[in-house]
Chains A and B, each alone.
Chain A
Amino acid sequence: DAKTTQPTSMDCAEGRAANLPCNHSTISGNEYVYWYRQIHSQGPQYIIHGLKNNETNEMASLIITEDRKSSTLILPHATLRDTAVYYCIASYGKLTFGQGTILTVHP
Chain B
Amino acid sequence: GAVVSQHPSRVICKSGTSVKIECRSLDFQATTMFWYRQFPKQSLMLMATSNEGSKATYEQGVEKDKFLINHASLTLSTLTVTSAHPEDSSFYICSANSNEYGGANVLTFGAGSRLTVL
Contact = CB atoms under 8 A, between A and B. Distances in A.
Interface of A: 32, 34, 36, 38, 41-46, 49, 51, 87, 91-100
B112 A95 contact: no
Contacts of B45: 97
Q: Is the interface of B mostly helix, strand, loop or mixed?
A: strand
A1 to B, nearest CB: 10
A99 B93 contact: no
Closest 10 CB pairs of A and B: A43-B109, A97-B44, A97-B43, A44-B109, A43-B112, A43-B111, A43-B93, A32-B104, A43-B110, A99-B43
B105 A95 contact: yes
Contacts of B4: 43
Given A42-B112, A97-B46, A100-B43, 8 more contacts: A32-B105, A41-B91, A43-B111, A46-B106, A49-B101, A87-B43, A93-B105, A95-B34
B107 A46 contact: yes
Contacts, number: 55
Nearest to A48: B106
Q: Is the interface of A mostly helix, strand, loop or mixed?
A: loop
B116 interface: no
A100 B44 CA distance: 10
Nearest to B108: A46
Nearest to B94: A43
B49 interface: yes
Nearest to A99: B43
Contacts of A87: 43
Nearest to B43: A97
A5 to B, nearest CB: 14
Nearest to A44: B109
Given A49-B101, A94-B34, A94-B49, A44 B106 contact: no
